[in-house]
A and B are shown apart, each in its own frame.
Chain A
């Protein structure tokens, strides 16, 4: 600091009345004097602090006695201590247009790599920390919830049918990593229709509607193999973890916009999540094809069931594939037939 005197204009707020008194602040080395109508006060310059630069806004010099002086953002103010020292470096970054451009590139890179590599890897790692027992209790909770909330009704299938399907199921799971944790449930479901789901911890639920839709034992086996794929690859847990992480990231990124628009945050999360989910379906399909072939069942059974299902649902899928949680049926059928061809 040199000894030249520097004088700036400002408005003094004493903190008692919301009135600004025009004053002059004179900086002279270690001393700073405030003079105005009926005011003359001297402070040590080192005791003064100043609010950080924010855009083009006026800044405030904070006096040790609780008063404040509003003044334009002038160079001389930077000799004073910053009221919020940790913000200094951020201000430096904010001022540079090059940094902004770099930030945009960095954000894109960060989000993409987190999406493609980071989250799946983190979920895989986190999965190693979750015990199968925890997963099982989650699965039981989920099934109880579905049962209690009218998603499921007790099965109406006869014992002979269920026993046969159970036999197929135990053949399929024989020798798998999670063999001892599997558990097959039959349910009637008006809401879901023909469907089968894999819950955490090895629970597979198949609906009566699915069983009656399936044209053959092999088709039932194909559905079960697909769900077994989800369980063996622990997709449900992965989905929950990746989904939560995605929601958090999307929340951070879109949070600013949320009160200035309607429902923007949901869209990126939805798109990203359905993409993950399609990926899981593909993985489960591949797993199922392999498993079926191991047990000498043709993956063509999977293809024919998919075709029947899509007729049943009358899905006009071509246009909505990017919004769908499942891959386009035609692609899955093609893959299954390819696998079938390879097997022969």
Chain B
């Protein structure tokens, strides 16, 4: 496929001879010359729309540029890029050999131009994504860091986090280059200390001073958007690929608007503060509405997160609808119900007492399995939905997680971890990460060179660590 671009070309007044030489009486006017683009110099054919190929000196006109060389000419080419057309000192094919063509620009710049449109869609190709972590290696990192964390009463957990993140990132390889985790232990430690003290306030008020709880929630609601923004910013800022970091551009107010779920969350908090939730119909209505709009809320949150995440100069794009999420939650709920209804029926038929061993085996284990299935189903298909609809600059994603396989992973991981008293935790993590990476394809429609530049401002870790304590991270 020959890549073509459409361009605006201004012929320089100094290139006096262009007009003469570019015109041929018998064929459509074009001429061939080197074009100097930001990504290199290529041979091209410039076709002017005028049947005569006539161009006036100093005039700006639209022309078609066909590259004579193969695809790499389009490498990294963007709309708005400027170029120069170079004259050449030799006879060109397709021109008369009466000597006039030799006057073509005389080796200098004969015209300036700007790319207005890429006419041929750049070819899509896949960037190989692989996770090369090994259970043995990760076991050592995990156990050493866990041991040091326990020995230091948790202080070391900041270092442990960095070590583990580094391991995950650097063993995730995209197109031959590992990701980089740039977070540093000390800021994380500071964030964790603040997070832990706020969590203690929450814990004490939720367990001991329940009358204070609504106010703590209100404070939490005011703080939450800040925590979410900081957390997402930290995570993005300290994740890098090829020496370019990610960025999160959400603002406090933007986040507040999205998180408040059209005023429902503030309504619930105010309801708690004034004890309205004790009134059954108010509580019922609020929670029914909450349950119903939940998929739309999640959809909005995901769109917000992706659109505010940037790599280099490109922002993510995602426009899912609540309906797409509703379908997933609904199917998952249905699956859960279908598994539990026969179980409930069996229980009521056989009158099994709540404390008996048969109750545990007949009821608790299948409930756990049903829960795991419903949970894995949501994880897998929401993951697929979000990845598949996301674009980031020239990047497209294809996620092919299966709810059923994820259930198997979750349950077998749980069994392995319990049976090994936790020693198989690293193995469980590694195999699940491998599975996730194997089921994510990264495609490039265009060239990765479309990304450029990066912002190196610092983001404090406080928000990120708070987010971890309160489980408030927005994640893909």
Contact = CB atoms under 8 A, between A and B. Distances in A.
Given A256-B142, A262-B372, A145 B210 contact: yes
A109 to B, nearest CB: 10
A40 interface: no
B355 A86 contact: no
Given A95-B140, A320-B360, A15 B244 contact: yes
Interface in A80-97: 84, 86-87, 90, 93-97
Determine which residue in B140, B211, B368, B453 has the highest number of CB atoms from chain A within 10 A of its CB, and name it: B140
B452 interface: yes
Interface string A302-344: 0000000000011111111001100000000000000000000
Given A11-B177, A87-B185, A262-B411, A313 B449 contact: no
Interface residues of A, number: 66
A57 interface: yes
Contacts of B208: 138, 141, 240
Contact of A261 (B355, B413, B451): B413
A252 B154 contact: yes
A5 B142 CA distance: 38
A110 interface: yes
A111 B371 CA distance: 30
A76 interface: no
B241 to A, nearest CB: 6
A323 B243 CA distance: 52
A276 to B, nearest CB: 16
A56 interface: yes
B417 A55 contact: no
Nearest to A319: B357
A133 to B, nearest CB: 13
Interface stretch (A23-31, A99-107, A217-225): A99-107
A264 B411 CA distance: 10
A292 B162 CA distance: 58
A13 interface: yes
Interface in A236-254: 240, 244, 249, 252-254
Interface stretch (A60-68, A208-216, A227-235): A60-68
Contacts of A79: none
A261 B150 contact: no
A107 B143 contact: yes
Nearest to A11: B177
A260 interface: yes
Contacts of B429: 256-257, 260
Nearest to A84: B184
Nearest to B146: A107
Nearest to A240: B207
A19 interface: yes
Given A54-B167, A256-B429, A100 B132 contact: no
Interface residues of B, number: 80
Nearest to B454: A15
Contacts of B371: 262-263
A86 B449 CA distance: 35
A163 interface: no
A14 B449 CA distance: 12
B414 A100 contact: no
B167 A103 contact: no
Interface of B: 76, 132-134, 137-151, 154, 157, 159, 162-164, 166-167, 170-171, 176-178, 180, 184-186, 203, 207-211, 241-244, 278, 312, 353, 355-358, 360, 368, 371-372, 375-376, 409-411, 413-414, 417-418, 422-423, 425-426, 428-429, 432, 448-449, 451-454, 456
26 contacts: A13-B244, A18-B449, A20-B176, A51-B180, A54-B166, A54-B167, A55-B134, A55-B167, A56-B171, A57-B171, A95-B140, A96-B140, A97-B140, A103-B147, A252-B149, A254-B422, A256-B425, A257-B428, A260-B432, A262-B411, A314-B355, A316-B355, A316-B356, A316-B357, A320-B355, A320-B356
Given A17-B452, A315-B355, A320-B357, 11 more contacts: A13-B243, A18-B448, A52-B166, A58-B170, A90-B145, A90-B148, A95-B140, A99-B144, A103-B144, A262-B371, A320-B356
